[in-house]
Amino acid sequence: MTHTRFHWVRHGPTHAKTLVGWSNLPADLSDHAAIARLSAYLPNAPVISSDLSRARATADAIQGQRPRLPDNASLREIHFGDWELQHFTEVEDQALIRRFWEEPGSVTPPGGESWDVVRARVNDAVDKLIGHEDIIIVAHFGVILTQVQRALGIGGYEAFSHKIDNLSVTEIRFDGAWSAGRINHIL
């Protein structure tokens, strides 16, 4: 039976107070002690990341002697479209943005992607990684929550209730069925 343990790492903080999806904001990786603890905690396993710079730089910082797989654009954060880099309160259509967060599914930001589209994109990328015994994936808040939702068999709204801190580890397992270990483990 195929089994894989996915060690999801959220990238270092950007310090942005806006909706950051596909924008290439840099990660603050100045907390060298936290990076060292994170790297020491993770197994000796391949590392893959989103192709956005904040995830790539975090993956570089924790890689050590681990093998590196090519960056994967399918592991990008939610595409917020016209809402990108706006504060929640600055979005013109307040009713729509509230529905996006409170009724995740088919609600789509103008020019962006719905929660259902994000989930399908990420699930497809993750399914292609099944077969590794362990794999470390450096990605984003929304991306990690798609897999929490999958592993726990919960709805999108319930998934959004989980906190995923920067530089935290969330463990998701596949052994014929999906399950979750630690969620938002901070070292």
How far apart, in Å, are the Cα atoms of 90 and each of 17, 19, 111?
Answer: 11, 10, 17
Average pLDDT over residues 124-153: 97
Q: Could you report the per-residue pLDDT of 87-129, keeping only the tens digit for each?
A: 999 999 999 999 999 999 999 999 999 999 999 999 999 999 9
Query: Is the pLDDT score of 1 beyond 80?
Result: no
Q: Could you report the per-residue pLDDT of 72-90, keeping only the tens digit for each?
A: 999 999 999 999 999 999 9
Task: State the pairing for strand pair 47-49/134-139.
Answer: parallel
Written out in words, the top-level CATH class of the domain with range 14-180 is: alpha beta
Q: In the structure encoding, which two tokens stand for residue 28, read together?
A: 């603050």
pLDDT band at 31 (very low <50, low <70, confident <90, very high): very high
Widest CA span in the chain? 50
Q: What is the pTM of this model?
A: 0.96
Domain boundaries, the chain: 14-180
